[in-house]
Amino acid sequence: MVWQVLELVAQGMAWETIEEQWNGKISKEMIAEAVRLANRSFMQQMNELTRELAVA
């Protein structure tokens, strides 16, 4: 479900529209949390890659 919501956000869909499409099962708060988690994961991967490149 998270990947589907992130895909809709990436496509530029309004968060209100996402809520409507999921019949209220996905709230704006849930969408925001999915975006935060994706950002955190991305930043962790970037930090790991930076460390690996610094060692090489």
Q: What is the pLDDT of residues 11-42, one digit of tens each?
A: 999 999 999 999 999 999 999 999 999 999 99
pLDDT at 55 (0 to 100): 87
Task: Give the C-alpha separation, 52 to 43, whole Å.
Answer: 14
pLDDT at 27 (0 to 100): 95
Judged by phi (left if over 0) then psi (alpha if -120 to 50, else beta), residue 24 lies in: left
Task: Give the C-alpha separation, 26 to 18, whole Å.
Answer: 7
Residue of higher predicted confidence among 56 and 30: 30
Q: What ranges do the domains of the chain cover?
A: 2-55
Is the model's pLDDT at 56 over the cut of 80?
A: no
